[in-house]
Structure 1
Amino acid sequence: MYQQAFNYLQNKGSQIYGPLFRVLNEDHLIIQRLLAWSLKDAPTAQQLGVDLTKGLMVTGPIGCGKSSLMNLMRFYIKDETPHILKPCRDIAFEFEKAGFEVIRRYACVSYHNSTHRPYVKSFCFDDLGTEHSLRHFGQECNIMAEIILSRYDHFIHNNMLTHFTTNLSADEIEKFYGPRVRSRLREMCNLIAFPRDAPDKRK
């Protein structure tokens, strides 16, 4: 099954990102962990230490392929709505224009009209740490910290899953967002880490 999944990833990646896209052997274990989560393959996920009830946090240096892989994982999710890839910088600029409504926009729970059951949107917040604290009518806000804390509450009560990509280390996340956010991210997400010396594939 996984060889077919790797072949599909190579073909789909080439279609989206061009003929230079490559699935490298040294990335196979990382990709297999992502695939096990996306395919909801419980035996493989357990073997690889991936908790299917949590989201994903993919970390690594610039250009190692975090965002591309999280975008491609959307094509493997069959039983639920795929996550929406959203750059954190865009959210910061939205806050500058729309204010605290942006927190509700990315952390709210909707309800199905027919069943009245909660419907939760799954986001992958791309490049956590590249946004800056911006002001809306003089009010400054660490917008991603507020969104993470709100989505954590829904993770606990409504199984709302959230994914992230970031270049930040755990200590840097705590410096940017505080210990509460670092602790909640640990509870919300599986850590999928590229090596610190992973090459920039854009070069």
Structure 2
Amino acid sequence: MDNPSKITEGAMEYSLGEFDGNSVFYDFEKILIYLNAKGRMLFGRQFRIYDEDLVIIRKLCHYFIKDLENCKKHDIDPDKGILLSGPVGCGKTTLMKLLRHIAPTQRPYDIIPCRNITFSFNHLGFKTIEDYGNTKSFCFDDLGIEHPGRFYGKNLNVMGEVLLSRYELYIQSKHKIKTHATTNLSADELEKQYGNRVRSRMRELFNLVAFDKGAEDKRI
């Protein structure tokens, strides 16, 4: 039987905890060792995990490994997706690219910049809305900073429509098909961008996990 507490990367095997034959008992310190190693593979030798991000990373790990007890403690619904918010450059996209690797047996998600979806709409029209309302899982990156879409002279709040489609999919699939997103915007700014109806649906789609407003820009 495969041991789900271990992940192999090339010639290296990393342990995320202990497996008793039925359940994995995860060890956060071991997960961090793996995340540091995987981060360097994905993003280069300069990658490192910052001590000030450990609270956020721990919450996200609870979510991705489906630690139901700790999810409940942090008011995280494992059936919903993640909306990871925080200032520019604090590492939101990096974490969403990285943390999906600690649970390789779960449904994978593609990370798509929201501006790419708007560009697609400008060329393909409503087929784009259909494409992102399908049964795949996505993480929409930089939600809220994209421009309105325009197709044949008509403007459309493309991501607003995509989120409404994702909500319908979420309900129809009985909460099995998740949507994730990253954003620099506050809840009020998102409501201003997409309207009250979409904001209401977002509350049902997402768990909000937020960096501190003073989180440093790690790209400097």
Instruction: Tell me which of 168, 171, 176 is aligned to 1:153.
Output: 168
Partners of 2:130 and 2:32 in 1: CA distance = 37
Structure 2 residue ranges without an equivalent (≥5): 1-26
Selected match of 2:86 from 57, 60, 83: 60
Report the CA distance between 1:139 and its aligned residue.
1.7
Q: Distance in 1 between matches of 2:133 and 2:106?
A: 18
The DSSP-based 3-state class of the residue aligned with 1:199 is coil
RMSD (Å), alpha carbons: 1.1
Q: Does 1:180 align with 2:197?
A: yes
**Structure 1: where are the runs of 5+ without partners?**
109-119
Name the residue aligned to 2:153: 138
Q: Does 1:86 align with 2:141?
A: no
The one of 131, 139, 144 aligned to 1:124: 139
State the TM-score, normalizing by the size of structure 2: 0.84
2:30 aligns with: 4
Measure how far apart 1:184 and its partner are. 1.0
Q: Write the letter of the residue equivalent to 2:64.
A: S
**d(CA) in 2 for partners of 1:141 and 1:155?**
22
Quick one: which amino acid aligns to residue 186 of structure 2? S
Q: Percent identity?
A: 46
Q: Which segment drifts farther, 142-151 or 154-163? A: 154-163
SS in 2 for 1:84: strand
Amino acid aligned to 1:82: P
1:25-65 Cα distance to aligned partner (Å, 9 max, x none):
11111001111111112122222221101100000000000
Q: Which residue of 1 aligns with 2:75?
A: 49
CA deviations on 1:117-153 (whole Å, 9 max, x unpaired) are xxx3110000001211121111211110000011111
**1:92-126: CA deviations, max 9, x gaps?**
10001100000000002xxxxxxxxxxx3110000
Taking the aligned partners of 1:44 and 1:186, their CA distance within structure 2 comes to 20
Offset from partner CA, 1:139-176 (integer Å, 9 cap, x none): 21111000001111111121221000000100100111
CA shift for structure 1 position 181 = 0.9
May I ask how many residue pairs the two structures share in their alignment?
192
Counterpart of 1:164 (choices 158, 163, 181) is: 181
Residue 26 in structure 1 maps to residue 38 in structure 2: no
Q: Which has the larger radius of gyration?
A: 2
SS of 2:33's equivalent? helix
Which aligned segments of 4 or more residues in structure 1 are displaced greater than 2 angstroms? 77-81
CA distance in 2, matches of 1:131, 1:83: 21
Secondary structure of the equivalent of 1:128? coil
Q: CA-to-partner distance for each residue in 1:49-91, whole Å, 9 max, x for gaps?
A: 2110110000000000000000012212233321110000100
Query: TM-score normalized by structure 1?
Result: 0.91
Q: Secondary structure at the match of 2:185?
A: coil
Does 1:197 find its partner at 2:214?
yes
Secondary structure (helix, strand or coil) at the match of 1:202 reads coil
Paired amino acid for 1:196? K
> Which amino acid is 2:203 matched to?
R
Q: Which has the higher contact order (CA 8 A, sep 6+)?
A: 1
